[in-house]
Amino acid sequence: MKIILLAAVALLIVNVVHAADSKAVKWIDSITIAPAAVIQTEGIDGASTFGAGADLGVGINKHVSIHVAGYGYETDSWGGGAVDELEAYVKANLASFSKQVVVVTAKGGAVWDTLLDDYAMSVGAGVDLNINKRFALGADYSVRAWLNDRDKDSLLRFFGQVKF
């Protein structure tokens, strides 16, 4: 997994440098930070666990961005690890409405459960509501397939996103 994370970081650095040279998107203008409330549901429709986290993203171009996120869950009365899961994903804008006020997105990536040392692939969809040029509210839903002997689960996120 360390090799995958190093490769993802290297890819992010290469794309940030490429975006900085691009006239379409200045890399500093494409950085986003989003605190998130999350609900993890076991087996798609099983028991749910509440959590919170943060998401850091950088735009590659107008429609695609790369993100890393960390989540902590309320297991053991919030007594678990500081970061229970790490996620790296790519987000793409599929359609926009009302002059890009409402944007429908797709996402896909990899998840590492730090407590169980398990890995998953995730795919999902979401919607962003751009309040102004610098702030957006959003929600997305992902289904995650774990590589070890675990059932699939889902993750619902609600976030407020700040763009720099």
Q: What is the pTM of this model?
A: 0.80
What would the pLDDT profile of 22-58 be if each residue is shown by its tens digit? 555 565 668 999 999 999 999 878 999 999 999 999 9
CB within 8 Å of 34: residues ≥ 6 apart? 54, 55, 56, 57, 138, 159, 160, 161, 162
Q: What percent of the chain has pLDDT over 90?
A: 59
Integer Cα distance of 9 and 109 in angstroms: 14
Q: What is the mean pLDDT of residues 91-101?
A: 91
φ, ψ dihedrals at 29, nearest 5°? -80, -5
pLDDT at 20: 46
pLDDT reading at 3 higher than 70: no
Domains of the chain: 2-163 (2.40.160.20)
**Which residues have CB under 8 Å from 101's CB, separation 6+?**
129, 130
